[in-house]
Structure 1
C-alpha cells in the first residue's frame, strides 16, 4: 500500500501499456476512496469519481463494476501486499516477527506523513462504519487468512494438516483488526504502528512456541 492508498506499484517488468493501466487504476482508486470517505458511500456517484480522477465514465467501468468494487479491489491488493511481505521475510525469522512485519506493510505506508495518515484514517472509518463495506472487508479477510496460513505452512515446512498456520494467521489478523478498530474509534491520536507493536508483543509467546503440531487424526485417541 502506497501513501496514495493504493497497494500496487508499477513494476519494471511490466509493459508500458500495463504500467499505464495500473496508473489509471491507482488514480481512480485514490479519487474514489477519498470522495467516499469525505462524503459517505451512498452520497458519491460514479460521475463525481470520474470527474475527480479526470477520466471518462467509460474508463471507470473498464476497471471497476461499481463503487463497491473499488473498495473490494483495494482490499484484495492490500491482502496481496501483506502476503508478499510475509513471503519475502527471512526463513529463519521467528513467526511473530515475520507476521508483524507483514501486518505493518499497509499501516506504515499510510502513516509516513501526517496528511497521508489523516486520509488513511478516513478510509478505514469508511470501510468499518459502512455496513456493506465492512461485510466485504470481513469476506476478504477470510481470504487473507487462507493466504497467510498457506504461506506459513510453506515457510515453516509444516504438514498441511497442522493447526498452527491457521491459528497463527488468525491471531495476526486479529491484531490487525484490533489496531484498526482502536485507531478508528478514537480521535486518531493513537499511532497504529505502535498499536501493532503492542499487539504482537502480547502474541509473540504463543506465535513463537511449538509450531509443529501433530495432525488432528494422529492426536486423537483411537
Structure 2
C-alpha cells in the first residue's frame, strides 16, 4: 500500500502521560478561573488532580505555563483550519472560518471557557502572554495567507495586515463574549451574546477591506515626500 503512512499508535505510557496532563490542565484551569491566578497554589492544583506537587512540575514549569499551553492549542487550531480551507476561497471567508475554529472550541465548553478567558484578560501577566501568543499566530497566519495568495510576505503588506485584522476580530469576540453571562444578566448586562453571530458580525465589518485589497492591488508608488 504505497503512499499511505500510518501514524504509530501511542504506547500505554504515552496514553497515561496524556491523561495526567489533561487532568492537571482541567484542574488548574478550573481552580484558577474560580479562585484567581494569584490565590490558587500549585499544591491545590496538584491535590485537585490527585497527583503530587512533584508530578505537577514534571508537566508544567508554573501555573502560568498551564494557561500558555491552553493558548497554544488555540493557535494550533487556527493554523490547521487556515491550511484546510479550499483554495480560491475569499480571504474574509477563510479567515472567518479560521477564527471560528478557535472560538468554537471555547463555545463548546462555554461557562468554563468564559471563566478562563476572563482570567486571561484580567490578569496582567497572563494577558501579556496572550498578546505574545497572538503575535506568533499573526506570523503564521500571514505566512499561510501569503502562500494561498502567492504573495511575498517580505514585500507585500497585505498578509500581515489581514492577519492582524483577523486577530483583532478574534480578540474583540472574546472580550465581548467573556463579559456576558448569568451573573451579568442579574446585574442588567447582556447575557444573550451569541458567539457565532458575534464572530460573523465582526467579520462583516472587516470583510470588505480584506477582499477588496486582494481584488484591487495597491498601485506602486515612489517614496513618500514631505
TM-score normalised by structure 2 residue count = 0.84
Asked whether the equivalents of residues 177 and 195 of structure 2 are also in contact (C-alpha less than 8 Å), the reply is yes
Structure 1 unaligned regions, length at least 5: 1-10
- The counterpart of 2:172, out of the listed 173, 178, 183, is 178
Instruction: Supply the distance in 2 between the matched residues of 1:205 and 1:56 (Cα, whole angstroms).
Output: 53
- The counterpart of 2:138, out of the listed 127, 132, 145, is 145
- The counterpart of 2:57, out of the listed 54, 61, 82, is 61
**Corresponding residue number in structure 2 for 1:205:** 208
Deviations 1:57-103 (A, max 9, x none): 22211111000111111112211111111111111211111111111
**Corresponding residue number in structure 2 for 1:96:** 92
Asked whether the equivalents of residues 95 and 207 of structure 1 are also in contact (C-alpha less than 8 Å), the reply is yes
- Number of residues of Structure 1 aligned to a counterpart in Structure 2: 207
Structure 2 unaligned regions, length at least 5: 1-5, 185-190
Q: Check 1:168–1:28 CA distance in 2 against 1; reply closer, same or farther (3 A cut).
A: same
Instruction: Supply the distance in 2 between the matched residues of 1:122 and 1:133 (Cα, whole angstroms).
Output: 13
Asked whether the equivalents of residues 75 and 102 of structure 2 are also in contact (C-alpha less than 8 Å), the reply is no
Instruction: Supply the distance in 2 between the matched residues of 1:67 and 1:172 (Cα, whole angstroms).
Output: 29
- The counterpart of 1:45, out of the listed 41, 54, 77, is 41
Asked whether the equivalents of residues 164 and 213 of structure 1 are also in contact (C-alpha less than 8 Å), the reply is no
**Corresponding residue number in structure 2 for 1:6:** none
Deviations 1:101-149 (A, max 9, x none): 111122212323xxx2111111110000111111111111111111110
Q: Check 1:169–1:221 CA distance in 2 against 1; reply closer, same or farther (3 A cut).
A: same
Map 1:9-158 to 2 at 5 A. Answer: 13-16=8-11, 17-112=13-108, 116-158=109-151
Instruction: Supply the distance in 1 between the matched residues of 2:46 and 2:170 (Cα, whole angstroms).
Output: 32
Alignment RMSD (CA, Å): 2.1
Instruction: Supply the distance in 2 between the matched residues of 1:92 and 1:83 (Cα, whole angstroms).
Output: 17
Instruction: Supply the distance in 2 between the matched residues of 1:50 and 1:12 (Cα, whole angstroms).
Output: 32
Secondary structure of 1:179 counterpart? helix
Instruction: Supply the distance in 2 between the matched residues of 1:14 and 1:68 (Cα, whole angstroms).
Output: 31
Task: Determine which structure has greater relative contact order: mean sequence separation of CA pairs < 8 Å that are 6+ residues apart, divided by chain length.
Answer: 1
Asked whether the equivalents of residues 31 and 52 of structure 1 are also in contact (C-alpha less than 8 Å), the reply is yes
